[in-house]
Chain A
């Protein structure tokens, strides 16, 4: 253990990967001593008494080897690795002031330091006239409000806290995809939501002008949608933008009304709202002709295409459309080998908006679904590490990420979870998302294949089949080309869906062996896959 020794979660992940390759070492990990990390080390048999005593600000170096000399040698090498100063690519500074002096014409900053330290730095950046993408979580709400008001008064954006993604001037910021330049502007308080809609609009050929992440907290009552409204005002004035898509999990009721009223009275362009959730909401009557309301990401993309290319929308959207019959046939083929006992859906998600969209669709199709981030708090999993009945797990939630890299970068937790799910004889189908783009793992599909094969073997030994479905969110231009990632999953016997919503519907049909009423299917197709 190295007391009070800090490296960021991505550096630690890289160090862990490097440590595993040291000769004579069977397994290794370099992590901060958080509870989550200690639980994982315990599961991997890598936790000693010394590690157990580590605190959140201490670093644990763990190795497993056959002999004491291999362990000692391994630890020595890892210590040298962690003490080695990081090699900076390009110019690097040790203080924000020095960087601001060196780049006086900087116009944008990305801040991803621990949230409790963010306020002072962001205020300094705003004073210098920079717009800020604030990736950090755990920024106290009073700081969040102060920073956003301070920025608004100066005509600047604080995108975040907790903003995972943006696309500015065609450049991917933080976790984002390489999308075609186009006429659609996006404002999103939901990170994976922003990625899914920008990817699908790019694949549809419409392309994206700007995509602004606001952070999920922006649409809560305390903040009142400050960044969302600023972003709408900017895109309304932006000559390169023709249609604007506003994406969020359900905002606070007052904020939702404020956004809809603002759109109705202060804008003139075509708008699509996507408040992902089970409930319909009302657009002011005077603006219904140009503001289309939706409740899933899939529907939002469909309506954006309809608003922008009304005469060609069927042709453009065919890449990610599946008719009811196509979906029913596919589901019936996949569910053929399932036993009577296999009846539940298990979702292992890295993208929070995807997990939420799936909960909304499954809620309509099969009723109660458990989750660590459920629609209804009564359906909260007692233990996020153990599924029950139908369960959708968001592996990007805090209990899985404190002191660790996000599961879009580090597949360790999902690999372990997939193997656990395979041991449960009641599981009918497993669904997973794969996020491509900058920021994400260099080969998300490839990284899961070992665990997929292990999961399938466990089921096979038990005389079961284990269908696995996937949705890949990415483009051909991403650092991990879409077609290569899809091919890897298909070759492993995984069924890949063009949108998360279609995968969710298929999982409901498979788990219930096609027994979903016609009226439910009609409603799902009529109000969840299109505007309502």
Chain B
């Protein structure tokens, strides 16, 4: 397979998008009629130091 085939296929196919992060970008895609879904990403919560210490002792 030619290494640019995947990219050329992207140019000529209908966009189907997974948007991970800023919802603003998903809103913009929807406004242009693009088929897209949103993944609402959140960082893993940081534990308070004291809980982290307890966890590290028991695990």
- Chain A residues engaging chain B, CB cutoff 8 angstroms: 4, 6, 8-11, 57, 86, 88-96, 98-100, 102-103, 105-114, 117, 121, 125, 129-131, 135-136, 152, 154-157, 168-169, 171-174, 178, 209-210, 230-231, 233-234, 237-238, 240, 409, 438-439, 479
* Residues in chain B near residue A131, CB distance under 8 A: 6-7, 10
A208–B5 CA distance with the chains assembled, in angstroms: 20
Q: In the complex, given contacts A109-B19, A169-B14, what are 13 additional A-B residue pairs having Cβ atoms less than 8 angstroms apart?
A: A92-B37, A93-B37, A106-B16, A112-B19, A131-B10, A135-B21, A135-B22, A169-B12, A173-B25, A209-B11, A233-B4, A237-B4, A238-B11
Our pick among A4, A91, A110, A234 for the contact of B21 (Cβ within 8 Å) is: A110
Shortest beta-carbon distance from B20 to chain A in Å: 5
- Chain B residues engaging chain A, CB cutoff 8 angstroms: 1-32, 34, 36-43, 45-46
Our pick among A103, A172, A230 for the contact of B37 (Cβ within 8 Å) is: A103
Interface pair A90/B26, CB less than 8 Å apart = yes
Shortest beta-carbon distance from B15 to chain A in Å: 5
Q: Given A92-B40, A174-B25, decide whether A155 and B3 contact each other with a Cβ distance below 8 A.
A: yes
* Residues in chain A near residue B4, CB distance under 8 A: 155, 230, 233-234, 237
Q: Give 10 closest A-B pairs by Cβ, nearest first.
A: A112-B21, A438-B28, A234-B7, A155-B6, A112-B22, A234-B4, A92-B38, A113-B21, A91-B37, A109-B18
A106–B16 CA distance with the chains assembled, in angstroms: 5
Our pick among A91, A111, A439 for the contact of B20 (Cβ within 8 Å) is: A111
Our pick among A4, A9, A233 for the contact of B46 (Cβ within 8 Å) is: A4
Q: Given A103-B16, A155-B1, decide whether A93 and B38 contact each other with a Cβ distance below 8 A.
A: yes
Our pick among B17, B23, B36, B37 for the contact of A86 (Cβ within 8 Å) is: B23
Q: Which residue of A lies closest to B9 (CB)?
A: A107
Q: Given A4-B45, A57-B46, A108-B16, decide whether A439 and B24 contact each other with a Cβ distance below 8 A.
A: yes
A173–B10 CA distance with the chains assembled, in angstroms: 14
Q: Which residue of A lies closest to B21 (CB)?
A: A112
* Residues in chain B near residue A156, CB distance under 8 A: 6-7
A342–B8 CA distance with the chains assembled, in angstroms: 54
* Residues in chain B near residue A94, CB distance under 8 A: 39-40
* Residues in chain A near residue B40, CB distance under 8 A: 86, 88, 92-94
* Residues in chain A near residue B16, CB distance under 8 A: 103, 105-108
Interface pair A169/B15, CB less than 8 Å apart = yes
A174–B19 CA distance with the chains assembled, in angstroms: 10
Q: Which residue of A lies closest to B24 (CB)?
A: A10
A210–B10 CA distance with the chains assembled, in angstroms: 10
A4–B47 CA distance with the chains assembled, in angstroms: 8
A131–B43 CA distance with the chains assembled, in angstroms: 23
* Residues in chain B near residue A114, CB distance under 8 A: 43
Shortest beta-carbon distance from A161 to chain B in Å: 12
Interface pair A102/B37, CB less than 8 Å apart = yes
Q: Given A10-B24, A57-B46, decide whether A155 and B39 contact each other with a Cβ distance below 8 A.
A: no
Q: Which residue of A lies closest to B38 (CB)?
A: A92
